[in-house]
Chain A
Amino acid sequence: MKMTGAQILCESLVKEGVEVIFGYPGGAVLPLYDTLAQYPQLRHILVRHEQGAAHAADGYARATGKVGVCLATSGPGATNLVTGIANAHLDSSPIVAITGQVARPFIGKDAFQETDITGITLPITKYNYLVLDVGSLARIVKEAFYLARSGRPGPVLIDIPRDVFVDEAEFHYPSKVDLPGYKPTLQGHPAQIKKAVKLINEAKQPLIIAGRGVVISGAYTELKQLAETAQIPVVTTLLGIGCFPETHILSFGMLGMHGMAYANMAVDAADAIIAIGMRFDDRATAKVSAFAPHARVIHIDIDPAEIGKNVRVDVPIVGDVKVVLNALNKLIISAEHVDWIHQLDEWRREHPSTEIRESAELLPQFVIRKIYELTQGKAIIVTGVGQNQMWAAQYYWYNRPNSLISAGGLGTMGFELPAAMGAKVGCPDEIVWCVAGDGGFQMTIQELATIVQERLAVKVAIINNGYLGMVRQWQELFYKRRYVATPLSGPDFVKIAEAYGLPALRVKHKEEVVPAIEQAMEEQGPFIIDFVVEPEENVYPMVLPGAALTEVLEEPRKEVATWSRRSTP
Chain B
Amino acid sequence: MVTTKHTLVALVEDKPGVLNHMASLFRRRGFNIESIVVGHSELPHLSRMTIVVDGTTTIMEQVRKQLDKLIDVVKVSDITEDDIINRELALIKIRATSSTRSEIIQIVDIFRANIVDVASDSVTVEVTGDEEKIASLLNLLRGFGIKEIARTGRIAMTRGG
Contact = CB atoms under 8 A, between A and B. Distances in A.
Interface of A: 118-119, 122-123, 126-127, 147, 179-182, 303-305, 307-309
A127 B20 contact: no
Given A122-B20, A123-B25, 16 more contacts: A119-B20, A122-B17, A122-B21, A122-B24, A123-B24, A123-B28, A147-B71, A179-B71, A180-B74, A181-B75, A303-B69, A304-B69, A305-B65, A305-B66, A305-B68, A308-B61
Interface in B41-79: 58, 61-62, 65-66, 68-75
Contacts of B65: 304-305, 307
Contacts of A307: 65
27 contacts: A118-B17, A122-B20, A122-B21, A122-B24, A123-B25, A123-B28, A180-B13, A180-B74, A181-B12, A181-B13, A181-B70, A181-B71, A181-B72, A181-B73, A181-B75, A303-B69, A304-B65, A304-B68, A304-B69, A305-B65, A305-B66, A305-B68, A305-B69, A307-B65, A308-B58, A308-B61, A309-B62
What are the 6 A-B residue pairs with the smallest beta carbon separation, nearest first? A305-B65, A181-B74, A127-B71, A180-B74, A182-B71, A305-B69
A309 B31 CA distance: 13
Task: Indicate the member of A181, A182, A303, A307 with the most B CB atoms within 10 Å.
Answer: A181
Nearest to A182: B71
A122 B16 CA distance: 12
A122 B20 CA distance: 9
Contacts of A179: 71
Contacts of B73: 181
A305 B68 CA distance: 8
Interface of B: 12-13, 17, 20-21, 24-25, 28, 58, 61-62, 65-66, 68-75
A161 to B, nearest CB: 14
A213 to B, nearest CB: 16
Given A119-B20, A180-B13, A181-B13, A305 B62 contact: yes
Contacts of B74: 180-181
Contacts of A118: 17
A126 B71 CA distance: 8
Nearest to A183: B74
Contacts of B72: 181
Nearest to B27: A123
A181 to B, nearest CB: 4
**By DSSP majority rule, is chain B's interface helix, strand, loop, or mixed?**
helix
A307 B64 CA distance: 12
A122 B72 CA distance: 13
Nearest to B12: A181
B158 to A, nearest CB: 21
Contacts of A309: 62
Nearest to B28: A123
Contacts of B21: 122
Nearest to A152: B69
A75 B12 CA distance: 30
Nearest to A312: B58
A126 B20 CA distance: 15
Contacts of A182: 71
B68 to A, nearest CB: 7
B16 to A, nearest CB: 8
Nearest to A156: B71
A450 to B, nearest CB: 33
Contacts of B66: 305
A156 to B, nearest CB: 9
A366 B138 CA distance: 75
Contacts of B17: 118, 122
Contacts of A126: 71
Nearest to A143: B71
A309 B65 CA distance: 10
A123 B27 CA distance: 11
A119 to B, nearest CB: 7
Contacts of A181: 12-13, 70-75
Nearest to B76: A181
A307 B65 CA distance: 9
A507 to B, nearest CB: 45
Contacts of B62: 305, 308-309
A308 B71 CA distance: 21
Nearest to A303: B69
B143 to A, nearest CB: 46
A154 to B, nearest CB: 11
A181 B14 CA distance: 12
Nearest to B16: A130
A127 B75 CA distance: 17
A444 to B, nearest CB: 27
Nearest to B69: A305
A154 B111 CA distance: 53
A208 B27 CA distance: 35
Contacts of B58: 308
A127 B70 CA distance: 8
Nearest to B25: A123
Contacts of B70: 181
A126 B69 CA distance: 9
B34 to A, nearest CB: 22
A51 to B, nearest CB: 23
Contacts of B71: 126-127, 147, 179, 181-182
Nearest to B67: A305
B59 to A, nearest CB: 11
Contacts of B75: 181
A436 B113 CA distance: 71
Nearest to B46: A180
A294 B62 CA distance: 25
Contacts of A119: 20
A108 to B, nearest CB: 12
A181 B15 CA distance: 12
Contacts of A304: 65, 68-69
Nearest to A306: B65
Contacts of B24: 122-123
Nearest to B72: A181
B49 to A, nearest CB: 13
A305 B25 CA distance: 13
Contacts of B12: 181
A305 B59 CA distance: 11
Contacts of A127: 71
Nearest to B73: A181
B62 to A, nearest CB: 6
